[in-house]
């Protein structure tokens, strides 16, 4: 036995991994985790029904989203400081660059949550100050990305076919348009309030028109190219983002502008109801595609977070329509969509935590999957 032991190869020490190398492949898509968490708090706190402990739970989820945002901002700062080559590669990668719309939406979403429910924990004054700072930072970032990423797509990227992720950079101004009205009552009456409202309406139009350009390309790609690769199938839910968020923006803007624009409520309902109808149709279509992909072996990926924030915008859109119309059916629609949101968020959160503990989610990504691949 002793002789056999001497023949065993010596154990070599494992290579030491730099702490900064752990974030080398931390892309902007990780901000989707913050967006998906913040929308749970925002949507739950404004549900048209009340349940014991619901608001406290939503405040806790909002606090979690704030901690996630701070941690991710720090990690991405390390990423840019120590892995600038990878950061530049992300900008020049047509599959990754559109996700730079996520940081802006994460900032504004957490800021909106501060006004909606964060004041319960940090006080109204601090909540408004935090919301204003995050709204300003997120809006400037979102407007910059809405121009920069399409520019890169035209000048530098080589794209074979349209993808739902193209909507991410152009929908970020819509998030600002939806949550900006929450700050209107906290501004001095007159010019300040009207200026913010006009800016929000401008971002509403910017994002809506850009969405109307991109959405036909996405649907045309599905019809002519077939289903997306299995791992990318959940990104079909991203189409719900501009639909639900624009409905939320229309109803929130109407509520803020109602004193001076009594017809704004009617316009919001006339816009929101048809758009919500199309959103429900797309929800059914995307859900069927995801179930199909799951039966064919689709495993967990960060794309599963696409099932959270876009669905959450439909919840807030339905809530806004319910407030303006008083229809019980819309209230229960909001409750049903919120239940779906909770299931999607819990599933994505648990699987993400497992992937982080195991290290798989921060590992180097595999080779690119052709965007035109048809799954059968």
Phi, psi (5° rounding) for residue 366?
-70, 175
What the block records as the tokens of 208 is 């809506």
- HSE, CB side, 13 Å, CA atoms: give it for residue 172: 34
Indicate the angle between helix axes 54-82 and 31-45, nearest 10 degrees.
160
What the block records as the tokens of 184 is 């209107």
pLDDT at 7: 45
pLDDT at 364: 62
pTM: 0.88
C-alpha to C-alpha distance for 348 and 75, rounded to whole angstroms: 20
pLDDT by residue for the chain (376 residues), tens only, comes to 444 344 444 444 434 445 566 677 788 899 999 999 999 999 999 998 888 899 999 999 999 999 999 999 998 888 777 777 777 888 888 888 999 999 999 999 999 999 999 999 999 999 999 999 999 999 999 999 999 999 998 888 787 778 999 999 999 999 999 999 999 999 999 999 999 999 999 999 999 999 999 999 999 989 988 889 999 999 999 999 999 999 999 999 999 987 767 788 899 999 999 999 999 999 999 999 999 999 999 999 999 999 999 999 999 999 999 999 999 999 999 999 999 999 999 999 999 999 888 777 766 665 544 444 344 4
pLDDT at 133: 97
**Per-position b or e across 302-325, b if 16+ CB within 10 A of its CB:** bbbbbbbbbbbbbbbbbbbbbbbb
Strands (E), 228-330: none
pLDDT at 106: 97
What is the residue extent of each domain of the chain?
A: 25-357
C-alpha to C-alpha distance for 336 and 227, rounded to whole angstroms: 27
Question: Domain 25-357 is of which CATH architecture?
Answer: Alpha/alpha barrel (1.50)
In residues, how long is the chain?
376
pLDDT at 87: 75
Task: Name every residue whose Cβ is closer than 8 Å to that of residue 18 and which is 6 or more positions away in sequence.
Answer: none
C-alpha to C-alpha distance for 19 and 23, rounded to whole angstroms: 8
C-alpha to C-alpha distance for 212 and 118, rounded to whole angstroms: 34
């Amino acid at each position: 036995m002793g002789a056999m032991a001497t023949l065993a190869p010596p154990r070599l020490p494992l290579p030491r991994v730099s702490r900064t190398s752990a974030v080398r492949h931390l892309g902007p898509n990780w901000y989707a985790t913050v967006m998906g968490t913040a929308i749970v708090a925002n949507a739950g706190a404004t549900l048209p029904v009340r349940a014991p402990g619901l608001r406290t739970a939503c405040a806790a989820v909002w606090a979690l989203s704030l901690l996630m945002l701070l941690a991710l901002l720090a990690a991405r700062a390390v990423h840019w400081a120590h892995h600038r080559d990878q950061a530049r590669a992300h900008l020049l990668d047509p599959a990754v660059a559109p996700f730079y719309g996520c940081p802006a939406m994460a900032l504004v979403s957490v800021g909106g949550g501060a006004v909606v429910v964060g004041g319960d924990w940090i006080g109204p004054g601090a909540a408004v100050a935090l919301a204003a700072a995050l709204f300003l930072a997120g809006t400037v970032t979102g407007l910059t990305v809405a121009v920069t990423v399409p520019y890169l797509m035209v000048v530098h990227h080589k794209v074979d076919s349209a993808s739902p992720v193209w909507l991410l950079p152009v929908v970020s101004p819509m998030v600002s348009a939806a949550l900006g009205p929450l700050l209107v009552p906290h501004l001095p009456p007159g010019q300040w309030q009207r200026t913010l409202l006009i800016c929000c309406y401008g971002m509403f139009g910017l994002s809506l028109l850009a969405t109307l350009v991109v959405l036909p390309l996405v649907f045309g790609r599905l019809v002519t190219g077939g289903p997306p690769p299995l791992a990318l199938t959940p990104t079909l839910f991203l189409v719900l983002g501009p639909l639900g968020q624009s409905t939320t923006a229309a109803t929130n803007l109407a509520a803020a502008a109602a004193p001076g624009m009594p017809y704004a409520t009617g316009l919001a309902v006339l816009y929101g109801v048809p758009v919500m109808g199309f959103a429900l149709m797309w929800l059914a279509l995307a859900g069927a595609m995801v179930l199909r992909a799951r039966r064919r072996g689709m495993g967990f990926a960060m794309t599963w977070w696409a099932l959270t924030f876009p669905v959450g915008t439909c919840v807030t859109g339905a809530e806004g329509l319910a407030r303006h119309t008083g229809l019980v059916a819309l209230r229960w629609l909001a409750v049903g969509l919120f239940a779906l949101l909770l299931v999607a968020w819990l599933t994505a959160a648990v699987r993400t935590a497992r992937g982080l503990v195991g290290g798989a989610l921060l590992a180097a990504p595999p080779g690119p999957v052709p965007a035109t691949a048809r799954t059968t």
